[in-house]
Amino acid sequence: MIRYHGILDVSVVSLLLLLCFSHSGLCKNCNFTYSPLVTTSTSEIIKNLKEFLLLDYPVSVPSNLKSDKFCFELWQLHFIYRELSRLIQVAGFQLRQNISRLEEILNLKELFQFCEIESDCVDFERTNISVFLDSIHSNLKKMAAKLEPATDQNPTDFSSCTSVQCQADSLSTPYPGYSSQMLEITQTSRSAILRRHHWLLLLIPLLVCLFSVVKCSGRIPVQPLPLQL
């Protein structure tokens, strides 16, 4: 470091500050001085977005993230942001506008602009986009709560989270990498489908029985009433 008579060179200090801080209040090593995330109105936007989607459309989600208590939501949001960006590239005009609006409101671009995540160890699996979208609000809310105490004097440091940690054995647990909410949503959806199938199975024999009765009644000869003079 350059010094003149024990005084730190002002140009060096300015350069260091410029490298570390931006006007957004974020630091390149994942130190946050405030929360850029917006949690209000996201549920309504996601609900409106679903109207333009095939809810069984497959998307990629990480399958072997380590359940780190501090970093997990940051990693999840990183992959959510990446998948939303991919969907924007392949979606039609109307759908692209709605996804872009969601991405803009979530403000994930600002979150990861100065927080680069390395994810070399991550494996992916396919899930329905409805499950993917339903997980966004929960992860966003938990991450915002962790960023809420951040101030200029006391930033929230996520520098230890810039390298994603993965499970050693991704086959050890079912649906690895899902948040608990994603698992709950998946199980609820399956239960609803099973209930619908159960009622359908009950209706089939009733319909067969009704059809048989109608068919048999058509074969019974109708006795004409005696003509009364």
- Amino acid identity, position 101: R
pLDDT averages per 10-residue partition of the chain, 229 residues = 44 40 51 86 84 84 95 96 93 89 90 90 93 92 91 91 86 41 49 56 68 59 50
Name the one residue in this structure whose structure tokens are 């001085």: 33
pLDDT given for residue 14 in this prediction: 43
pTM of the model: 0.62
Question: 159 and 29 in contact (C-beta within 8 Å)?
Answer: yes
1.10.569.10, 1.20.1250.10, 3.40.190.10, 1.20.120.530: which CATH number matches 24-210? 1.20.1250.10
Q: Where are the domains of the chain?
A: 24-210
pLDDT given for residue 224 in this prediction: 52
Other Cβ atoms within 10 Å of 74 Cβ, number:
23
